[in-house]
Structures are given as structure tokens and as C-alpha cells.
Amino acid sequence: MKWTLDEPKYADMVRINFGSLYHFGIYVSDNEIIQFGLAPGRRPHVKESEVEVLSSDAETFCGGQFMEVAKFDKREQKKRFSPEKTVEIARSRLGERGYNMLHNNCEHFAYECTFGKKYCSQTEAVKEFLNNLPLLHVYISTIPDTVSYEKLTPKQRQKEVLTTKDPQRKLERYFVWKLLEHALEKSLHMGIKEAKLRRTPDGKWKSPFFELSIAHTDGTVSVAISREPVGIDIENVSNARDKLSAELILNNDEIGEYKDADALTLLELFAQKESIFKMIGTGVFEPRNIYVSDDPAYVRIERITNKNGEYILAISSKIAEKAKIFNDAIF
């Protein structure tokens, strides 16, 4: 199928462009274009449940954009309904609701009226994107001691960083976000704005397109991007300097096995638990409430060395063993 700027004819599938998306309809005449909802920006704010199949004139449909007309190849011409049947189906669905952006949108509607089955090139493109997401990429970098702070996106993150008073913490929060920008570009070829990052009420950052986790400590920052839920934690090995309290880290079921463990082992367990907590993603972090898994496919521990010293990196994910780790000083 190709899209042209030809004059539309009776029963043509038509579309207009708005931003990165299209709005579709069935052209009957200049005064009657049947479509599932109106293009965003052309309608007052309505809930998805209130969107319905309606008819509008061409001016309303187009909203100042050029109307493109579908030109079918020979195979599509054979498969499509007759023009009369297409219009009959479209008119019979006027007033229908049940709009769903992913499964029952304006493009699905136009295809159904024309070919008798749903198809949406736009959601197919998203599905292909999701299928091509990296399994699990983890990025780690050291950070400089000072910086000239640039603007961050979204504004909520900018505010989070600017209101952090502790200078070291502020630097780490800033640079972990810059590392996330780097990771998005390298792994997903995506800009930070496109990622549509939002902070949940319990303080976690999420994207509708992929899973992520961030961690930072003592001059080193890390970011994980994955198609599956993931949690990471990074701890400086020099923090295993005293006898860590097993009672504060381990629950009753674990204390027997690990109570005589050295400080480094306890620090690894602590990092594992924090990474598991971040993967699960809700509530407050209480290490005694988290059970460390023996399944290597779920939790992976790596030692990371950089100019700042040695670190424990804990990765929790059902595909943790497939994680690719990129340990480069990118700043």
C-alpha cells in the first residue's frame, strides 16, 4: 500500500499526520469522513471510553493537515471489500465505542471497513521495537569531581538533582542521569525525551517502553536497560571494612547459613537484596524481608574495578545471566 496526495474517492481509506502518528478514516464525501474518534488536538479532552465512531467533514478530519489517500497494490485491490460495502460497514458502526489505543484504534477501524480484519501498522512498529529491545544492558562509569550542571529531562529529575544538598550525592544523581541518556542512545537509539520517563509515587523512575534500574555510590554510577524487570545495586568494596551486622541484613531463615560470614559476603548479600528490591519495585527497602535467591539466572554478582576502586555489582532479573556489561569511563 502506498499513500498519495490524490483526490479522495468514495470509500477510500484516508489519513492525516499529526506528529509521529496518523489518524485514519473512510472517505465518503467532502462532508462525510467516517472515523473512530477525531485526531488528538481536534477534540476536547475525552476519555478513551467515550471515544466513538463518528462522521465529520474533511476540514474537521484534516485539521489543517494534508489528506493522504491509500493506493492499493493489485493483491490488496482483490482483497478489499467493494466501495459500497466499505461505506455500508463504516456507517453501520457510527456511535460505536470501545476505543483502545493498542487493540482497537482508528487505523484498525479503517482496515476492518476496507478489508474485513484489524491491522495497525503503528502498533506493529511498536511491537517490532519491543521485540528488538536488548535483553539486558548494564552501563557503569566513574564520574568527575565537579561539573557545570546542564539541564536534565524531564523537569522532575532536574528538580530532584538541584534540590539535593549533599554535593557528592548531587553529582552522582546528575551523572547517573547522563549515563542513562548515553545508555538509551547506545542500546535503543532513543533520546531521553522519547523515553517518556516518569517518577512513581514511591520514587522509582519508569518508562512505558522498557525496564530500567539505576544505582550510584562513591563516585561510580550505573544504569540497566532491559525488556524484563530488572534491579541493580552497586556497593564499594571498601564499605566491607567493619563487621557488618548479620542481624540487620538477614532474616531468620538465612541467619543460620550466613551468621559467620565475613563482611564482604554480607555486603554482597546486602547488594543482592537491594537489587531484588529494586526489581520488585514497590514498598520500602527492608533487607530482612527479602530472600536471596540461589538461582544464578535471577541474581548475578560481578566485581567491577575502575579508577575509584573495587565495587560489587548486583543484577537481579530473570535474565541476569544474559546481561551485557559496559564498564567504560564515559565522562
Partner 1 sequence: MKRNEIKEKLIDIMMGAMGDTDAIEKCTEDSLLSTDLGLNSVGILYTVMGIEDAFSVEFDDVGFSDFKTVGDVLDYIESKLA
Please give the residue ranges that form the binding site for partner 1 (CB under 8 A). 163-169, 217, 233, 235, 239, 242, 244-245, 248-249, 267, 270, 274, 284-287, 289
Q: Give CA–CA dist 281/201, Å, rounded.
A: 11
Residue given cell 499526520 in the structure block: 17
As measured in angstroms, the least distance from the Cβ of 162 to partner 1 is 11
User: Which one, 32 or 233, has the nearer CB to partner 1?
Assistant: 233
If the CB atoms of residues 1 and 248 are measured against partner 1, the closer one turns out to be: 248
Supply the minimum distance, in Å, between the C-beta of residue 125 and partner 1: 40
What is the CA angle 156-159-163, rounded to 5?
145
The nearest distance, CB 260 to partner 1, in angstroms, is 17
Amino acid at 174: Y
> Which residues lie closer than 8 Å to 295 by C-beta, 6 or more apart?
none
Closest CA to 288 of 253, 240, 237: 253
Cell 566485581: give the residue: 303
Min dist CB 287 to partner 1, Å, is: 7
Query: Count of residues for the chain?
Result: 331
User: Residue 40 or residue 144: which is nearer to partner 1 going by CB?
Assistant: 144
- Nearest CB to partner 1, comparing residues 169 and 324: 169
Q: What is the DSSP string of 65-111?
A: SPPEEEE--HHHHHHSPPHHHHHHHHHHTTT----BTTTB-HHHHHH
Q: Which is nearer to partner 1, 10 or 285 (CB)?
A: 285
Q: Nearest distance from residue 243's CB to partner 1, in Å?
A: 9
